[in-house]
Structure 1
């Protein structure tokens, strides 16, 4: 899935859209996506001026957006409809490696369970072979109309 397809599925836009490409998706099971991290990211101006590091909360957001794409892949009615995915919880978040300009953050997210519009995912974000961040994410799909 390229950026044009992602923009059709996610409501996020600059500066908060944090998924550049979907590399693989198996609806109802798992997804792999990437975020190219460049020095042009607006958060690097203040985090930190002399040692730019991607904020951990944005790594979690990138995984959550990847999880939303997986949820939308399972729910064919969602893209372009009146549905949106909201964060409902984060458990076991761990940050193991800083993410810097020039890195490519690859998110692997698997669906643990889905019931009544509530989704639970296990996410891992890597740079190369190194784990940068991991967490369990809970989201809910809701109608905005």
Structure 2
């Protein structure tokens, strides 16, 4: 069942540099997804955030959760509308392996977290809407 980056990209409307997921390890459609991201020192955002002390920006941790959620619901047209109870507990540095876990609460609302070695790094409740087409 594991899916690689190419398989993930084929389902999501997302390309580098914003493609945050490297691998999906568990998928229970519409219920749960578990994905992984390997944080490389070569990521472009480390050039300015911060050159002497590289830290992955928190907004990119949220982006990883959003991508995992879109994958879980098989909807690349979901737009993030609310981040509730968002907490950043640890700094993410190059060389770390992230696990992104998302559990559906109800349609287009979920609990999401980013972990390193089973330790919460970022947690949030996320709400989405479907993009309206004209």
For 2:17, which of 3, 15, 18 is the aligned residue? 15
Q: How does 1:84-95 map to 2 (within 5 A)?
A: 84-95=77-88
2:65 aligns with: 63
Q: Distance in 1 between the 2:7 and 2:133 partners?
A: 21
1:75 aligns with: none
- List, as ranges, runs of 4+ consecutive aligned residues in structure 1 with deviation greater than 2 Å: 141-145
CA RMSD of aligned residues (A): 1.3
1:110 aligns with: 103
Q: Distance in 2 between the 1:140 and 1:20 partners?
A: 25
* TM-score normalized with structure 1 length: 0.86
* TM-score normalized with structure 2 length: 0.93
- Count of residue correspondences: 132
Q: What are structure 2's unaligned runs of at least 5 residues?
A: none
Question: What secondary structure does 1:132 align onto?
Answer: strand
